[in-house]
Structure 1
């Protein structure tokens, strides 16, 4: 069983909620929701009643319809059907993939009020129309996102916990790692880029250290996503698939904003907006929106018509980029790992930083200025995040983040951004392949330290 940070968040929910709320764990298919919640139920409760609504029979579903106002009978039948003894205040009831049976989600209000057991729901695509139709979203429901494993969790899985702890300590102290450990961390980060953070590919890699079988696992996940598109994105499935397939090509460009003209000369955002929302709601993609006037409230000047679209998992992005062949040979992965063949480094590094920022709870924003109006200067900032700023008594400020894949680069956009927005700007970050450094109020972080932001 892979160790996940989210497990501790489940423990905290149990201890603070004490049965007063249910917890909804949202995440992409195959991100490990069911495994995590099942393990939590078995280890933290006397018993766990686990109902998978992807596989639940019509008989089980009918129990919920027939006995929604007779909870004694409902629990009696469910306990007998699944062969699980239920203990008041010491049983966890799990509604797995609850989007497949929204009526169960609609009962949460009454189940929580009943107070006998604790409840966790898991799901994806929870906001699309057919999954909230005819139900009232319960106010007693807390939510928690489960993202792909981040780089720190990958290091744990690879038996590198001491290295992970050292990276955090060195980040906090603004000190670089020794050169040998820096090279080791960069090598492991490249492995993480190729494997990704979906639990099944990570488990295979930890056991076998072979990329071909990892790639086969990732392709199965991508095929599952395509099947979900066909099944759930009815009426606009072609547009969703077009956007998904276009992600590697868009991220391979210097200008990484998603260009709808690549999907067709007459393509407009109003026609594709629902497709981007679908991919984000399914947790397949991470959307990054332009921010027109950066301030502590980045969402206040968000431009929804100008966006970048990243894959939620960089390992899946790699397999999607190789989708023109039925399988990717082990030697191809090894060559990419060594840097011998030109899979776009900028695409991978920017996507992995987006993935790390999302894992830490940041919404994704970027800033751009075309340089075509009057005397304005051109600039593009990859990401904007909000962080406390020591020079402003730890008040929050906008931190611009630039991601650099080559070892030689310029920072003109950061210089112009700082000059334009002045006191709004906090620490400026450059995330690059080289060692950590701090110069003139600007922090240069090696790529593997991005999970600390």
Structure 2
């Protein structure tokens, strides 16, 4: 199993609430929810029961329709899953809870009973179909698990020193040196190609060959769509190209792909910001005298102000939209960022940030 930040979130939940709430780990399929929960359970509890509602029989599902007799429920689970029922030392994992929506309503009684701890996992658990006719309990904590961020990707490759170093460099705005920057950008492009899904990262570590098997104020009427994992974006963006997938990967990894990769770099910045809990906003407005628009790729909170972020796919440093935005909203602008592929730098009032530092924004 890879080291992932979700493990620390679960540790904090166990220590802070001590059984007073259940935890629900949400996330897309194959992101590693069940794996991290099972590993956490084996390390932190003396006994556990894993109820996988995607595979459980109908009578197991029906056990949670009526939880008025918890002694009967626990006895049935013990018989079916051959587990020791140890007060305050047993965790019951409710896997794929979207397949048994009644179990979420039962959480209130289960937590109130106080004998055991509960972690649910699931995908699409919040859509109307999966919450219809049930009362969502206030005793349910929720955590969103996303594809591995660049930090976790470095951990998987045995490196837990680089990202703290980058964080300090970002805070002090001290350049790293172009040689080190080139190496880091190559590593980051590898992350863009492989993505953050654990199976893809595992395949990279086993084969060291990213290839096709690892496969581009809110107005709710205007939005951008990004893919949760940039590897899938790259595969889809170039699937109709004249050259093979391996050539795409090789050229992107060496920074020699002869196309504008702005959309790919925007997607990976989105992935990093989202992985670190940032809500995503962008801003666009007409460019006077033309039919085109100015556009700021991302806007992030900066205390009582906001920080505009432009993303470029190379050392390209012109940023007309950034200057126009700062001129238009000067009293509300904090820091100004250009995210690009070169070393840390400063261009007037603009902080120029290498792509692999986008998580720190």
Band of TM-score, shorter chain: over 0.9
Write the distance in 2 (CA, Å) between the matches of 1:323 and 1:378: 29
Distance in 1 (alpha carbons) for counterparts of 2:291 and 2:229: 36
Does 1:310 find its partner at 2:226?
yes
* Residue 323 to residue 107, structure 1, CA distance change in 2 (3 Å): farther
What is the CA-CA distance between 1:112 and the residue it aligns to? 0.8
Out of 328, 333, 337, the position equivalent to 1:425 is 333
CA gap 1:187/1:116 in 2 versus in 1, 3 angstroms: same
Structure-2-length-normalised TM-score: 0.94
Alignment partner of 2:55: what SS?
coil
CA distance in 2, matches of 1:83, 1:35: 21
Structure 1: gaps of 5 or more residues = 219-247, 249-300, 389-395
Question: In the alignment, does 2:334 pair up with 1:337?
Answer: no
Q: Is 1:216 aligned to 2:124, yes or no?
A: no
Cα distance change on mapping 1:380 and 1:131 into 2, 3 Å: same
Aligned to 1:85: 84
Distance 1:50 1:371 in 2: 57
Query: Partner of 2:63 in structure 1?
Result: 63
1:183 aligns with 2:182: yes
TM score, norm. by length of structure 1: 0.76
Structure 2, unaligned stretches of length 5 or more?
A: none
2:38 pairs with 1:41 = no
Alignment-derived partner of residue 12 in structure 1: 12
On the 8 A contact 1:336/1:343 being kept in 2, the answer is no
Matched, 1:139 2:138: yes
In 2, Cα distance between equivalents of 1:324 and 1:417 = 36
Matched, 1:355 2:355: no
Note if contact 2:314-2:342 (Cα within 8 Å) is conserved in structure 1: no
Gap change, CA 1:319 and 1:376, over 3 Å in 2: closer
Q: Quick check: 1:156–1:164 contact (8 Å CA) kept in 2?
A: no
Which aligned pairs between 1:3-402 and structure 2 lie closer than 5 A?
Answer: 3-65=3-65, 67-212=66-211, 215-218=212-215, 248=216, 301-324=217-240, 329-342=245-258, 344-371=260-287, 378-388=293-303, 396-402=304-310
**Distance apart, 1:344 and its partner CA:** 4.3
Distance 1:163 1:383 in 2: 25
> Which deviates more from structure 2 when the two are superposed, residues 377-386 or residues 49-58?
377-386
- Give the 3-state SS of the residue equivalent to 1:108 in structure 2: helix
Kindly state the Cα deviation for residue 378 of structure 1 after the two structures are TM-superposed.
Answer: 4.7
1:259 maps to: none
* Aligned 8 A contact 1:93 1:119 in 2: yes
Which range is displaced more, 56-65 or 39-48? 56-65
Contact kept in structure 2, 1:174 and 1:436, CA below 8 Å:
yes
Give the Cα separation in 1 of the matches to 2:64 and 2:109: 12
- Please give the alpha-carbon distance, in whole angstroms, between the structure 2 residues aligned to 1:423 and 1:6: 38
Offset of residue 359 of structure 1: 0.8
Check whether the contact 1:336–1:342 (CA below 8 A) recurs between aligned residues.
Answer: no
The answer to which of 399-408 and 330-339 deviates more is 330-339
Mark the CA change 1:385 to 1:37 in structure 2 (over 3 Å): closer, same or farther: same
Displacement of 1:5 in angstroms is 1.1
Secondary structure of 1:25 counterpart = strand
The Cα shift of 1:417 comes to: 1.1
Say what the alpha-carbon RMSD is for the aligned residues. 2.1
SS of corresponding position for 1:364:
coil
The equivalent of 1:447 in structure 2 is 355
Quote the offset at 1:59 in angstroms: 2.4
Contact 1:27 1:123 in 2 (8 A): yes
